[in-house]
Amino acid sequence: MNRHPFRKNAAGPGSGVGAVVVGGDYQGLGIVRSLGRYGVPVTVLDDERSISRVSRYVTGHERVPELRDAGETVRILIDACKRLGLHGAVLYPTREETVAAIAANREELSEYYKLPTPAWQAVQPAWDKRETYQRAERLGIPIPRCWFPESFADLDQIDLSSPVILKPAIKENFFYETRAKAWRVDTRAELEAVYRKAVDIVGEAEIIVQELIPGGGDRQFGYCAFFKDGEAVAEMTVRRLRQHPSDFGRASTFVETIDLPELAKHSLTFLRDIGYYGLVELEYKQDERDGQYKLLDVNARTWGYHSLGYTAGADFPYLVYRDQLGLPVTECRARAGVRWLRLATDLPNAALDIKAGKLKVWPYLKTFRGVQTEAVFSLRDPLPGLYEVALLPYLFFKRGL
């Protein structure tokens, strides 16, 4: 275990003010590299084996026992601050449950860290998907048709003339139990069966049934921003061409920046309404039946492919760092046509789709042309890529990659 306090004389614009990244997978690695390029000292805290720990840009790393329980997370963060000399560092969470823990305990944690995570009032509408969809509908933002059954008897009200999905309102407990984001349902019998399974995991109050929007990766989109004072200081719009798994992806595997102003319009409306501050990703899917871009999810944190922003001209984690230190931040927009890939999940997922006849080999390989950013592999920082290869069996059995 490597424990190092921040180097107070580290080079960089923050005069030695460091950062703490909570979660050291490829998403956390992107934050580490974003800040490390500017000489910002970075410490990584993780409860899993972390590829970020071997990055050339990491100042210190510590394996902690638990980051799923909110109370334990707060205790660990405060303890680490005191022991490792992290006072005043900018704190970057990478998981939904860590965001929620920080937001709910913001007043206490602000005595130890600089917090780009907004208050709970702004996080809650993203954390609870019931609130996400109900608020979006009030604001006139298109969403898939949704039902919120509170008991088994309410299932009779759900229209099954076309496929639906069953998913949790708060996804963390469901995901850690099932490794799935949602379950597809085609018949009444299937709905009743998966509803019973879901109730055993998350309870009746946290279940959402939603119409399944047809279409593949060519209809999946994302709007990403550093949002402050009612405006997007930095923004990036993408087509999320492939994801893992292919049906209800937990994470994007192949992404390309595009120009699509309509997503900004809906996204800014939502973020202004909740008084948001910080980094955020809103996920959409275009419904081929009516052409509308329908809101699927709001992630109140960095997202998996955020490192695409650095190559495309919007270095999101570093912009937040500057803002937290009161330094000037120049407005920017990511340029279109830049591609990002996470090979460790994209390749095996593609192999399954090719075997199932959903994807052809040559069109798939052609998409690799012009990929400017790989999620992990980097010639300037090669060790995390090598370490991930060694960790692939662990990552698969721990969380399905």
Single residue among 196, 211, 226 that ends a domain in this structure: 211
Q: 314 and 386, same structural domain?
A: yes
Q: 28 and 104, same structural domain?
A: yes
Q: 382 and 325, same structural domain?
A: yes
Q: 239 and 203, same structural domain?
A: no
Single residue among 211, 231, 255 that ends a domain in this structure: 211
> Where in the sequence is the domain holding 105, given as residue range(s)?
19-120
Q: 237 and 169, same structural domain?
A: no
Question: Computed over its alpha carbons, how large is the radius of gyration of the chain?
Answer: 21
Q: 236 and 200, same structural domain?
A: no
pTM of the model: 0.92
Q: 234 and 202, same structural domain?
A: no
CATH label of the domain that carries residue 299: 3.30.470.20
Residue 130 within a domain: no
Residue 363 within a domain: yes
CATH label of the domain that carries residue 155: 3.30.1490
The total number of structural domains that make up the chain: 3
CATH label of the domain that carries residue 56: 3.40.50.720
Residue 321 within a domain: yes
What is the full per-residue pLDDT of the chain (401 aa) written as tens digits? 333 333 333 344 545 899 999 999 999 999 999 999 999 999 999 999 889 999 999 999 999 998 999 999 999 999 999 999 999 999 999 999 999 999 999 999 999 999 999 999 999 999 999 999 999 999 999 999 999 999 999 999 999 999 999 999 998 878 888 888 899 999 999 999 999 999 999 999 899 999 999 988 889 999 999 999 999 999 999 999 999 888 777 789 999 999 999 999 999 999 999 999 999 999 999 999 999 999 999 999 999 999 999 999 999 999 999 999 999 999 999 999 999 999 999 999 999 999 999 899 999 999 998 899 999 999 999 999 999 988 877 666 665 55
Q: 96 and 49, same structural domain?
A: yes
